[in-house]
Every structure is written in structure tokens, then in C-alpha cells.
């Protein structure tokens, strides 16, 4: 996954990486990441003590046969204290952002 390459490249360049933000479904492609893909990222971040912000603002914008699984439905998040969830109702006409730490 691109985020792996970017993280390892940044770390190898001596940059300090504190965390990653993943938009799932992705913006602007609309791609929906599988639970396995998200778990790979969560495990990598847990291993390196990185925060993860899961931005699921487009969770209601999934079309066709694609299955979207929210990180909130994962019972086995590797590092819940560094895993954050972001959602907003702005895409349905209101202005409010919810950011929370899981557990
Ligand atoms: C992926 C993503 N996350 C978060 C936001 C922020 O949404 P807002 O500030 O409109 O609530 C946007 C806005 O376009 C977005 O595309």
C-alpha cells in the first residue's frame, strides 16, 4: 500500500513521522480499503507507535457491490489508544466534526 512506502521513505530520510491519516473511502478516488488492508496499516502503526486517524467521512458514499467496513466495527484494533476516528455530517448538509479516540 502507498502509505507503507511513504512512511518508510519518510523515516529513512530522517523525517519524524508521528502518524498517518487514512480516508476510507478514499478522497478523491472513492476506493474502499478492505479490512485486511486497514489492519495492515494499523499493525504497522502499532509496531512503530504511530497514531492513525481513520477518516470515514465518506462512509455513506459507497456505491455498487463494494463492502465498506468501519474501523469502529473491528474488534481487534492493535493499538486502540493511538487509533482515532473522524466523521462529519458536513457531507449531508450540516457542520459538525466528530473526532474520537477509540477506547
Ligand atoms: C476526506 C475528507 N475528510 C474531512 C473533510 C472535512 O469535512 P468538513 O470540514 O466539511 O466537515 C473533507 C472535506 O471535504 C474530506 O474530503
Which pLDDT tens digit goes with each residue over 1-36? 777 778 778 878 888 989 999 999 999 999 999 999
Q: Domain residues for 74?
A: 2-6+18-101
In a domain, 37, yes or no: yes
Contacts 24+ apart (CB under 8 A), 77-80: 77/42, 77/102, 77/103, 78/39, 78/42, 78/43, 78/45, 78/46, 79/42, 79/45, 79/46, 79/49, 79/52
In a domain, 40, yes or no: yes
Total-model pTM: 0.83
Tell me if 41 sits within 8 A of 5, measured CB to CB. Answer: no
- What is the rounded CA–CA span in Å between residue 58 and residue 55? 8
Domain of residue 25, CATH code: 3.40.640.10
Q: What is the pLDDT of residues 57-74, one digit of tens each?
A: 999 889 889 999 999 999
Q: pLDDT band at residue 92, thresholds of 50, 70 and 90? A: low
In a domain, 65, yes or no: yes
Q: Is the C-beta atom of 23 inside 6 A of ligand 1?
A: yes
In a domain, 32, yes or no: yes
Tell me if 30 sits within 8 A of 64, measured CB to CB. Answer: no
**Ligand 1 center to 93 CA (angstroms):** 12
Q: Is the C-beta atom of 21 inside 6 A of ligand 1?
A: no
Structural domains counted in the chain: 1
In a domain, 12, yes or no: no
* pLDDT for 72: 96
In a domain, 11, yes or no: no
Nearest alpha carbon, ligand 1 atom 16:
27
**Ligand 1 center to 57 CA (angstroms):** 7
Q: What is the pLDDT of residues 40-56, one digit of tens each?
A: 999 999 998 999 999 99
Amino acid at each position: 500500500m502507498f502509505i507503507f512506502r511513504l512512511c518508510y521513505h519518510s523515516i529513512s530520510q530522517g523525517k519524524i513521522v508521528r502518524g498517518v491519516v487514512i480516508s476510507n473511502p478514499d478522497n478523491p478516488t472513492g476506493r474502499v480499503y478492505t479490512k485486511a488492508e486497514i489492519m495492515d496499516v494499523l499493525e504497522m502503526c502499532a509496531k512503530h507507535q504511530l497514531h492513525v486517524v481513520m477518516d470515514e467521512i465518506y462512509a455513506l458514499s459507497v456505491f455498487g457491490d463494494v463492502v465498506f467496513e468501519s474501523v469502529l466495527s473491528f474488534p481487534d484494533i492493535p493499538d486502540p489508544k493511538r487509533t482515532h476516528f473522524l466523521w462529519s455530517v458536513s457531507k449531508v448538509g450540516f457542520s459538525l466534526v466528530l473526532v474520537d479516540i477509540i477506547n
